[in-house]
Amino acid sequence: MKIRFWGTRGSIAVPGKDTTGFGGNTTCVELLLESGRRVIIDAGTGIRALGEELSQRDRDLEIHILITHIHWDHVLGFPFFEPIYWKGCRILIDGAPTCMKGLRYPFDNMMGDGFFPVKFHELSARITYLDRLRHGPLVLDDTVIEKVELHHPQGGYGFKFSWGKKSMVFITDNELRHDGWKGRKIKDYVRFFEGADLLIHDSQYLPEEMETKKGWGHSDCLTVVDAALSAGVRHLILFHHDPSRKDHQVEEMVALARAMVSDKGAFLAVDAAREGDVIQL
Ligand SMILES: [Zn+2]
Ligand SMILES: [Zn+2]
């Protein structure tokens, strides 16, 4: 699987000199499965540049888009994703049960108020809601995709991709909490990403910031490291950077996380998601 980060930021896009390193666009991750099938996770502002790159290729495309949840930072780029205006493009949507509502809203509900000049039914691409993940795993060629419910206001889904002997887990906008939330505890997530080759997980905050951010639906980096170690994950990528976190502060967060790993004498590679980075798994 090839993974490319098009948007790594949480909450709101933050272009500018302080974010050129890790990127200012909101959540969008492109996956190329072993079969060559393209799956996109979330339609944050990062999806615009991805659409632009796809426009250099054959426009007769089939793309799967999985939506974690419909908070603005995860759907805002969709109206600017060029392939939705191509006749030969087929887009298959799945993910959180509200995903279609979130993708339609900028076109239909706001149109009358002048927020966007196009209606959803005017889009040229064939857009279909698969509605598979709500009921069980989604199988795409040789890859099985499973979901886990997020600890996040209004909920959402995290995803696990398994193929052959490998697995990759993507969980953003999730608050790992020792006191649990709605009956689900950290150990339940640990079970979900047990043995993953790669875990990409929300770590918007530092431990000392959690006192004022409890219940906001995001994790602190050290709780994420601890859970990844418990699950025997090989590589952890910190994701959904706080909009006010400058590049050097993200580097400091990575250093803090790596120090925790070495203090425990454990082995876990830790990095922060960086816009434009490509990972081959
Ligand atoms: Zn978010
Ligand atoms: Zn959210």
- The pLDDT, as a whole number, for residue 114 is 56
Ligand 2 centre distance from Cα of residue 53 (Å): 26
Torsion of CA 267, 271, 273, 277, to 10 degrees: -100
The ligand placed nearest to the CA atom of residue 28 is 1
Please state, as a whole number, how many other Cβ atoms lie within 10 Å of the Cβ of residue 181: 17
Which DSSP helix (H) or strand (E) runs through 79? none
Ligand nearest to the CA of 76: 1
> Can you state the angle between helices 221-230 and 247-263, rounded to 10 degrees?
40
Gap between the Cα atoms of 157 and 149, Å rounded: 5
Of the candidates 129, 226, 240, the residue with the CA atom closest to the CA atom of residue 176: 226
What is the reported pLDDT for 79?
A: 95
Say how many Å lie between the CA of residue 265 and the centre of ligand 2. 34
**What pLDDT does residue 113 have?**
58
Is domain 2-280 in CATH 2.40.30.10, yes or no? no
Residue 207 and residue 221 in contact, taking contact as beta carbons nearer than 8 Å: yes
Question: What backbone torsions phi and psi does residue 152 show, to the nearest 5 degrees?
Answer: -155, 145
Structure tokens at 86: 């191509």
Q: Who surrounds ion ligand 1 at CB < 5 A?
A: 10, 73, 173
Contact 181, 214 (CB under 8 A): no
Distance CA 83, CA 278 (A): 22
Do residues 193 and 153 touch, judged by C-beta distance below 8 A?
no
Q: Give 71 Cα–ligand 1 centroid separation in angstroms.
A: 6
The answer for residues whose C-beta is within 8 angstroms of residue 35's C-beta and 6 or more apart is: 140, 141, 142, 143
Residue with tokens 């039914």: 121
Distance between CA 267 and CA 90 in Å, rounded? Answer: 42
Give 118: exposed, middle or buried? Use CB within 10 Å, 0-12, 13-18, 19+: middle
CB 136 within 8 A of CB 149: no
Q: Where are the domains of the chain?
A: 2-280
- Rounded CA separation 183/150 (Å): 12
Distance (Å) from CA 170 to ligand 1 centroid: 13
Q: Which of 26, 21, 24, 29 is nearest to 10 (CA)?
A: 26
CA-CA distance, 102 to 115, in Å (whole number)?
A: 15
CA of 125 to the centre of ligand 1 (A): 26
Residue 174 near residue 218 (C-beta atoms within 8 A): yes
Give distance in angstroms: CA of 57 to centre of ligand 1.
Answer: 30
Q: How far is the CA of 265 from the centre of ligand 1 (A)?
A: 32
Helix (H) or strand (E) holding 38: strand 38-41
Task: Going residue by residue through the chain, which has 281 residues, state the pLDDT in tens, using 9 for 90 and above.
Answer: 999 999 999 999 999 999 999 999 999 999 999 999 999 999 999 999 999 999 998 888 999 999 999 999 999 999 999 999 999 999 999 999 999 988 988 887 654 555 678 888 899 999 999 999 999 999 999 999 999 999 999 999 999 999 999 999 999 999 999 887 777 899 999 999 999 999 999 999 999 999 999 999 999 999 999 999 999 999 999 999 999 999 999 999 999 999 999 999 999 999 999 999 999 99
Q: For residue 86, how far is its CA from the centre of ligand 1 (angstroms)?
A: 28
Coil, helix or strand for 256? helix
pLDDT of residue 110: 53
What was the pLDDT predicted at 140?
98
Q: Report d(CA 5, CA 47) in Å as an integer.
A: 10
Find the 50 Cα to ligand 1 centroid distance in Å.
Answer: 19
SS3 state at 60? coil
